[in-house]
Amino acid sequence: MIKNLREQTELLREKAIDPYATSPEISPPVTPILKKEDYIRIKEEERIAKEEADKKKAEEAAKKAEEKKKKDEEKRLQAEMKETEEKIAAEAKKKMKKIFPDGIYACLDVVSGPIEKKMDTILGNTIDGLDRRYITWLALVAVVFNYNIWLCTARMVFPYHNEVANPYWITFDILTDVVNVIDIIIWQPRIQFVKGGDIITDRVVCKDHYRKSQRFMTDMISIIPFDLLCLYSGFSSVYRLNRFLRIDNFFEFSDRLESIMAKAYIWRVIRTTGYLLYALHINACAYYVASMYQGLGSTKWVYDGQGNAYLRCYYYAVRSLINIGGLNEPHTVFEITFQMTNFFIGVFVFSSLIGQMRDVIGAATAGETYFRASMDGCVDYMNTYSIPREVQNRIRTWFNYTWAAQGMLDESELLDKMPLVMRTAIAVDINLSTFQKIALFQGCDQQMLVDMLLRLKSIVYLPGDFVVKKGDIGKEMYIIKSGAVQVVGGPDNSIVFVTLKAGSVFGEISLLQSAKDGGNRRTANVKAHGFANLFVLEKKDLFDILVHYPESQKVLARKGRKLTKAKGPAPAKGNEEKPKGVALFGKKPPTPKMMKLFQNMKKAANK
């Protein structure tokens, strides 16, 4: 170590003495200097080598691209061949499918052709889905469906098949199948349908539409006569389970019936009750099967085989599903499992059905609930502000009569929800004939009358209510929808000049008279005689309509002047002399007898 230190010290000392001394490390070799020709040759060789390498790479890339293109072309050709084969197979399959149904349809048309022609004279070529005849037929189809779903399940489970009962079962089965076949062949191909907003009434198109629908396939499957297998395996209703597929017909009947019923909630309640009874029916069948599995009378829980089997099992289902209780305790694992399942299903099913029943009843009484809430709110308001009892009684009477007469407080709430076409149809049907009889509107544009009908407002007046009073400004005309009004006068309005009944019109002249000089003042008192429901047309609404009918406006103005002149007061006579002087005061009235008596007594006292 000391030796090394001394050597390094010597080197450093030399460097300090000789500043040009180099490092002890070995210097790199010096690059040799080439001649120009050699340098050019070397660079040319490098360029050539690089070009050859690039050319080789390009050839390899082109070769790979060519191979890839060939592979892609092969794949494309294979895909096209596969697609062509699939297309040919699909077309062949489609042709086979088309040929097979067409053959079936042709056979059906040949068999049912004469019957269809005879039915054309009764039902017509097509029939509307809301036609009462079709709904009546659907009722029969619904009865057939219920026969199958109720009795087929009962016959599968309970011992109702024997030599005595079987002929009756066969007869009823055949009759119900005939009804289904008639429905498929005669009725369903005639039902009209909507396509692109148009109602299709062509018989051929309607039949083709039905036969291409999923419902037709379901209907055809539902009438396959699996019952014929009973000839080999014994009589059983299990072969009629395909009849259950006609459930769409039951729901269609339900929808159609609701659409024509005035109180559809009645059918909804009946239908929901039917669901409840059928759930109990299925549970009764399941209980009997469980009892057979365990052995009739083997335990206290199962059916003991005594009495009517169906009634006893149905009684168990009612007590079990509705959770009434009072049942025999299950003993085996199977019995406990069955009973627990019954309880769970009962809670779920019956809570759903009770909720549905609540909704049905709530929807049925929604209008009356709204009426009661409106009346109660009005009564609370009157009590808050201490309205006189007589006024409160009249308001209650108005509420009760309006609800009883129209089933709603404001007809406009219902009509406003309808499209304009529907509102126009209702207004024309109710009031157009009455408007056409009004002398003021005769000769006017019919469309103007229709527009006026849409502006009418319904108002109910109580007995004794004044519709108009003498001297009031006339701003409305009135049409009597129901009830009657009286034109009255005299000191206490006890004189009845005329009674106007339903269909009459009054106040029409006030619509066209000017307010200048009191020209549109009411000239008589009109009050309701009993309850009166009136349609009211305001002057503002009439003027808004007349802007679009200038010719009718001229006609109304001319007729209004004539009617005003005809009904106006008679002019005063010009040759009548006016009283003058003392004659203005009239004849002096005689002195009362009591005054004469006092005068005579005074004269006697003076004497």
pLDDT above 70 coverage of the chain, percent? 84
Of the pLDDT bands very low, low, confident and very high (cuts 50, 70, 90), residue 584 is very low
Q: What is the pLDDT of residues 433-449, one digit of tens each?
A: 777 777 777 778 888 88
Pairing, β 198-200 against β 505-506: unpaired
Q: Cβ contacts of residue 336 below 8 Å, gap of 6+?
A: 330
Pairing, β 525-538 against β 193-195: unpaired
Tell me how far apart the terminal alpha carbons of the chain are, to the nearest angstrom: 190
What pLDDT shows up at residue 1? 79
CA atoms within 13 A on the CB side of 29: 3
Of the pLDDT bands very low, low, confident and very high (cuts 50, 70, 90), residue 101 is low
Question: Residues spanned by CATH 2.60.120.10 within the chain?
Answer: 417-566
Q: What integer is the mean pLDDT of 344-367? A: 82
In terms of Cα–Cα distance, which of 324, 321, 325, 326 is closest to 350? 321
Is the pLDDT at 451 greater than 50? The verdict is yes
User: Strand, coil or helix: what is 561?
Assistant: helix
Q: Is residue 546 exposed (0-12), middle (13-18) or buried (19+ Cβ within 10 Å)?
A: buried
Q: What integer is the mean pLDDT of 70-82? A: 87
Q: Cβ contacts of residue 367 below 8 Å, gap of 6+?
A: 407, 408
Q: Among all chains, which residue has been given the structure tokens 């309205």? A: 387
Q: What is the pLDDT of residues 375-403, one digit of tens each?
A: 899 989 998 888 898 888 988 888 888 88
**Do 399 and 375 form a contact (C-beta atoms < 8 A)?**
yes
What pLDDT shows up at residue 571? 45
CATH 2.60.120.10 fits 417-566, yes or no: yes
Of the pLDDT bands very low, low, confident and very high (cuts 50, 70, 90), residue 12 is confident
DSSP letter, residue 494:
-
124 Rama class: left (phi>0) / alpha (psi -120 to 50) / beta = left
Q: What integer is the mean pLDDT of 136-163? A: 94
Of the pLDDT bands very low, low, confident and very high (cuts 50, 70, 90), residue 89 is confident
Q: Point out which residues pair with 394 in neighbouring strands.
A: none
Is the pLDDT at 597 greater than 60? The verdict is no
Task: List the Cα angle 290/294/297 in 5-degree steps.
Answer: 105
Phi (first) and psi of residue 153, to 5 degrees: -65, -40
Of these ranges, 507-511, 524-528, 580-584, the one predicted with the greatest mean pLDDT is 524-528
**Residue 150 and residue 266: Cα distance in Å, rounded?**
22
In terms of Cα–Cα distance, which of 111, 112, 181, 116 is closest to 144? 181
**Residue 477 and residue 535: Cα distance in Å, rounded?**
8
**Do 182 and 263 form a contact (C-beta atoms < 8 A)?**
no
Q: What is the pLDDT of residues 178-193, one digit of tens each?
A: 999 999 988 999 999 8
Pairing, β 495-501 against β 466-468: unpaired
Q: Among all chains, which residue has been given the structure tokens 């106040």? A: 507
Of these ranges, 57-61, 172-176, 534-538, 602-606, the one predicted with the greatest mean pLDDT is 172-176
Q: Point out which residues pair with 168 in neighbouring strands.
A: none
Phi (first) and psi of residue 535, to 5 degrees: -95, 135
User: Strand, coil or helix: what is 489?
Assistant: strand
Q: What is the pLDDT of residues 453-484, one digit of tens each?
A: 888 888 889 898 899 888 888 888 888 888 89
**Residue 339 and residue 221: Cα distance in Å, rounded?**
36
Neighbours of 365 (CB within 10 A): 13
**Residue 147 and residue 168: Cα distance in Å, rounded?**
14
How does the average pLDDT of the chain come out, rounded? 82
What pLDDT shows up at residue 30? 56
Is the pLDDT at 487 greater than 70? The verdict is yes
What pLDDT shows up at residue 607? 54
Is the pLDDT at 606 greater than 70? The verdict is no
Residue 6, token pair as written in the block: 């001394």
Of the pLDDT bands very low, low, confident and very high (cuts 50, 70, 90), residue 581 is very low
Pairing, β 476-489 against β 505-506: antiparallel
3-state SS of 527-539 is: EEEEEEEEEEEEH
In terms of Cα–Cα distance, which of 56, 343, 278, 311 is closest to 145? 278
Q: Among all chains, which residue has been given the structure tokens 């068999």? A: 111
Q: What is the pLDDT of residues 221-278, one digit of tens each?
A: 999 999 888 888 888 899 999 999 999 999 999 999 998 888 888 898 899 899 999 9
Residue 525, token pair as written in the block: 């008192």
Chain Cα centroid distance, residue 331: 52
Residue 106, token pair as written in the block: 């042709």
Which residue type, as a one-letter code, is found at position 296?
L
Q: What is the pLDDT of residues 543-578, one digit of tens each?
A: 888 888 888 888 887 877 776 666 554 444 444 444
Lowest mean pLDDT among 159-163, 333-337, 526-530, 602-606: 602-606
**Residue 388 and residue 393: Cα distance in Å, rounded?**
9
**Do 160 and 154 form a contact (C-beta atoms < 8 A)?**
yes
Give the H/E segment covering residue 304: none
Q: What is the pLDDT of residues 185-234, one digit of tens each?
A: 889 999 998 887 788 888 889 888 998 899 999 999 999 999 888 888 88
Of the pLDDT bands very low, low, confident and very high (cuts 50, 70, 90), residue 602 is low
Phi (first) and psi of residue 445, to 5 degrees: -60, 135
What pLDDT shows up at residue 526? 92
Is the pLDDT at 67 greater than 70? The verdict is yes
pTM (2 d.p.): 0.63
Task: List the Cα angle 304/307/309 in 5-degree steps.
Answer: 70
What pLDDT shows up at residue 31? 58
DSSP letter, residue 328:
P
**Residue 16 and residue 301: Cα distance in Å, rounded?**
122
Lowest mean pLDDT among 94-103, 338-347, 516-525: 94-103
**Residue 141 and residue 249: Cα distance in Å, rounded?**
7
**Do 300 and 292 form a contact (C-beta atoms < 8 A)?**
no
Of the pLDDT bands very low, low, confident and very high (cuts 50, 70, 90), residue 596 is low
